[in-house]
Each structure stands twice: as structure tokens, then as C-alpha cells.
Amino acid sequence: MVKANLTVISNFIFLGFSHYPKVEVIVFVLCLLMYFITLLGNVILISITVLDSHLHKPMYFFLSNLSFLDIWYTSSALTPMLANFVSGKNTISFSGCAIQMYFSLAMGSTECVLLSMMAYDRYVAICNPLRYPIIMNKSVCVQIAAGSWVTGCLTALVETVSVLHQSLCGKSIINHFTCEVLAVLKLVCVDTSRVQLIMLVISVLLLPMPMLLICISYAFILFSILRISSMDGRSKAFSTCAAHLTVVVLFYGTALSMYLKPSAVDSQEIDKFIALVYAGLTPMLNPIIYSLRNKEVKAAVKKLLIRNSLCAFLIPSSK
């Protein structure tokens, strides 16, 4: 068995969807479209949460954090792939691969924690509405967001160092379109049981544990909603949670199917399409889901559009 230390490898080669040329073109077009929509939607969502004083609430503070990390998440995964397709070079340097892997893991891990914290925010808002401004004050919100980011970045650093510190066998060909941690791990020629144990522990901490917290939060929320006598009150409470639940199902569903699937189920081609869903489709849908399901966000967007239209109308006339 040929061994090569990973630190001496200068470049990796992506296989991507090269085995399916027609599919590769379709994937490129779809990814480019998803990337632009993701950028536009999340930038708009961040802008309105900053510019509209009515949205200066904990829920929208966490939502702007989610939009910010979605931009980085999609950029780290899709931008190199799009650039490689245009240039015709399906390669990436060792340092570029390390950076890409780290940012993808960091943003994904942070989102896992942040979504569970957003569920806790909804729990406090619905189950303890009178104490909500006190419990979820500005200082607490900043601490929760900072804790989510620190947790995601630290766990990503542990995983990235653990994988890239291993030795590589044969050619440095990654059967993926990105430096996805599981795809890179397949290139390791030494015993990976220790690395797999580290990844399993982190995956359990960042996937089932937050999911459990989300389920507990929504169990209490559902119990509180059923106690509301007014139908309008129930409808409003359900609408504030529906968007978050939709995002949770999309994100955790794809993440669980990727990182906690049985070892017997191992199809790299399926993994690539799953990766496209959680790296491109989910970040694109997040701002759409929150804007379509949220009256306050839709009102803020309309206000911003009207304000911009008036400015565009008045400025030329003044000349």
C-alpha cells in the first residue's frame, strides 16, 4: 500500500459530475441560479432586519445571523465548483481544500446550534410572552448567537484538523464537487476509526441533541397553543413557528441523511446530490420561506420597495 503524507499534496482533483456531462451542465446552471437567489434573498433579509425598526426583535436578530451564515455556507461550497466549471480546471490546492472544508463545516455546525436556539426563542415568546422581553434581552441574544458561532467554529476546527492530519493513499482524487469531509476521508489509507469516532461524537452533539431540544421546545409550544381559546391567536402562533419548522425539517433532514446514515448505505453519487440540497437549495429557500410565511417581513419588504421607488421618482425630478 502506497502512503503519502497529506501535507506534501499540493492539489486535489474533483471528479464532480464528470461522469455525466449533460447532468454536469444542468447542475452548473441550477447551482449558479441557486447561488444568485441565495445571495439576493439573504442580503435583502439582512437589510430589512437592520433598516426596519419594527424588526429589531430577537427573532429577526437570529434570522439575520442565519442569513449571514447561509451566504458564507453557500459561497464556500458552490463558488469553487462554479469557478472550476467555467475555467475547466477541476482542481483545488491543499490550503484551499482545508479552508473550504473548514468553512463548510463551521457554517453547517453553527446553523445546527442556531436553529435550536431559534426554537428556544419561539418557546419563550409563546409560552412566556410577558417575560419574553426580560428573558430574551439584547445581551442574552448576543450571547446565544456568539455561543452558536463559537461552537460551530471550534467543532469544525477539530474535524478539519483530524481529517487533514491523516495520510493519503494513491492519487489525490476527490469523488465530489467540493472538499466535503466524508469524501476526503475516503482518501485516507490508515486506520480512520479514531477520526470517525470524533466525527460521530460531534455529529451526535450537533444533530440529534439540537433536534431533541427543538422537539421539546415545540412540544411545549404546541401545548400552549392548544390552550389559546381564540382562533386568531392560534393562527398567529402557528404562523410564527411554521417558517422555522419548515427550515428545520429541510436542513436537519438532509444533514441527518448524510452524516448519520448507516455505513452499509454508501453511494457517493447520492451524497453529491444530497450535498447540493443542503449547500444550495436550503440556504436559497430560507429567506423565501421566512418572507412568505411572515407578515412582518412582507410588510417590511413592501415598505422598503415603496421607499426606494419614491426616492427614484423624486431624485430625477429635483434635477
pTM equals: 0.83
CA separation for the pair 163, 199 (Å, rounded): 9
Show the cell assigned to 44: 435583502
Show the cell assigned to 212: 431533541
What domains does the chain contain, in order, with CATH numbers? 11-294 (1.20.1070.10)
CA separation for the pair 178, 16 (Å, rounded): 8
- Would you give per-residue pLDDT tens digits along the chain (319 residues)? 344 444 456 688 888 777 777 777 888 888 899 899 999 889 988 888 888 777 888 888 998 999 999 899 888 888 888 888 887 778 888 888 889 999 989 998 998 899 899 889 989 988 888 899 999 999 999 999 999 999 999 999 999 998 888 777 756 788 888 888 888 888 887 778 888 898 889 888 888 888 889 889 888 888 888 777 777 767 766 766 777 777 888 777 777 776 666 554 456 667 777 778 878 888 888 888 777 666 777 777 677 666 656 555 555 544 4
Q: According to the model, what pLDDT value does residue 318 have?
A: 46
Show the cell assigned to 148: 452558536
For 104-147, give the DSSP string: HHHHHHHHHHHHHHHHHHHHHHHHSTTTHHHHT-HHHHHHHHHH
From the list 304, 289, 310, 275, the residue with the least C-alpha distance to 41 is 289
- At residue 236, φ and ψ (nearest 5 deg) are -65, -40
CA distances in angstroms from 123 to 61, 218, 219, 251, 282, listed in the order given: 16, 7, 9, 20, 24
CA separation for the pair 84, 75 (Å, rounded): 14
